[in-house]
């Protein structure tokens, strides 16, 4: 990773922040993005304190123009792009019949179109360096999760996009990784949107029993070095993907029963 230029979207907290440190400690030059200037600058200062060279760019991945600006400012500063990590994401928690459709659209705009926009503008430069495009997806991209219909839809779309893109780029030397963490201790559940589009403000799961953001980042760093195609994390995640492929009807019941045990679950 020495002197590689790595763009990480949604890097002001959670997995994105952990990725900035993981790649930065390996000698990469880090570009971090996020919608909120103050927390983003705080992360930038933390990186600088560890002598990790970085550039902080405030922007919203769901806005196409912001992605173009992100790429242009990266090129102005560093002259190339080696790795794009599409990490920015948001979740939602509501029964589909209760949710305002604008919530579904917002989730899709960030989780899917944000990746499309960033990849579109960065791709020519990543082809030039024969670098990597990484999408932070989810087990929900393999198995639809109740009370998270919009989130699951966005991750299914992301998985399909990355698979198609990987195949298109097969002869170019560009590496495409689909990384699917299991349940990870981060702020994504706290920031998840309710049926009215407002942040829920708390987690419905025991964060202490989950994989840490730092563990996820280290696994993604390792998979990038090895130029892996897919990365599915946690035993629960691997088992979910396997069983959903071979015993999908059974998984309908198992997933329902598991998520019905969550705090304040609308499932009965």
pLDDT tens-digit map of 187-229: 555 667 887 777 765 555 555 567 899 999 999 999 999 999 9
Whether the Cβ atoms of residue 17 and residue 8 lie closer than 8 Å to each other: no
Predicted local confidence at residue 78, as pLDDT: 98
The reported pLDDT for the residue numbered 41 is 96
Number of Cβ within a 10 Å radius of residue 159: 19
Distance (Å, rounded) from C-alpha 81 to C-alpha 186?
A: 27
SS3 112: helix
Residue 92 pairs in a beta bridge with 193
Report the CATH number of the 5-235 domain: 3.40.50.720
Q: What is the pLDDT of residue 116?
A: 98
Residue 6, token pair as written in the block: 């790595």
Distance, CA of 151 to CA of 89 (rounded, Å): 9
d(CA 31, CA 12): 11
**Which residues, given as ranges, of the chain have pLDDT below 50?**
none
Query: Which residue from 67, 249, 228, 238 is spatially nearest to 162, judged by alpha carbons?
Result: 228
Question: What is the structure's pLDDT at 197?
Answer: 73
Active site residues: 151
Query: What are the domain boundaries of the chain?
Result: 5-235
Helices (H), the chain: 14-24, 37-49, 64-78, 101-108, 114-129, 149-168, 213-225, 235-246, 248-259
pLDDT value, residue 24: 97
Q: Give this prediction's pTM.
A: 0.91
What pairs with residue 86 in β-bridges? 135
Backbone angles phi, psi at 185, to 5 degrees: -70, 105
């Amino acid at each position: 990773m020495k002197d590689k230029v790595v763009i990480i979207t949604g890097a002001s907290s959670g997995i994105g922040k952990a990725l900035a440190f993981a790649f930065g400690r390996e000698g990469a030059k880090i570009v971090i993005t996020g919608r909120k200037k103050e927390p983003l600058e705080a992360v930038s200062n933390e990186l600088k304190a560890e002598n990790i060279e970085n550039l902080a760019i405030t922007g919203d991945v769901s806005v196409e123009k912001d992605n173009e600006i992100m790429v242009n400012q990266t090129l102005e500063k560093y002259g190339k792009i080696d790795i794009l990590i599409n990490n920015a994401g948001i979740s939602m928690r509501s029964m589909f019949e209760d949710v305002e459709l604008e919530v579904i659209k917002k989730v899709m705009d960030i989780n899917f179109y944000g990746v499309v926009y960033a990849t579109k503008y960065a791709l020519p430069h990543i082809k030039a360096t024969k670098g990597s495009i990484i999408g932070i997806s989810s087990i929900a991209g393999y198995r639809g999760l109740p009370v998270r219909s919009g989130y699951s839809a966005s991750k299914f779309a992301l998985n399909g996009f990355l698979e198609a893109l990987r195949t298109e780029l097969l002869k170019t030397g560009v590496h495409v990784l689909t990384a699917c963490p299991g349940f990870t201790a981060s702020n994504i559940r706290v920031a998840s949107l309710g049926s009215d589009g407002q942040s829920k403000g708390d987690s419905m799961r025991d964060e202490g029993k989950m994989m840490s953001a730092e563990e996820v980042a280290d696994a993604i760093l390792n998979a990038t070095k090895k130029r892996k195609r897919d990365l599915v994390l946690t035993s629960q995640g691997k088992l979910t993907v396997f069983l959903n492929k071979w015993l999908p009807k059974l998984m309908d019941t198992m997933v329902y029963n598991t998520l019905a045990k969550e705090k304040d679950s609308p499932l009965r």
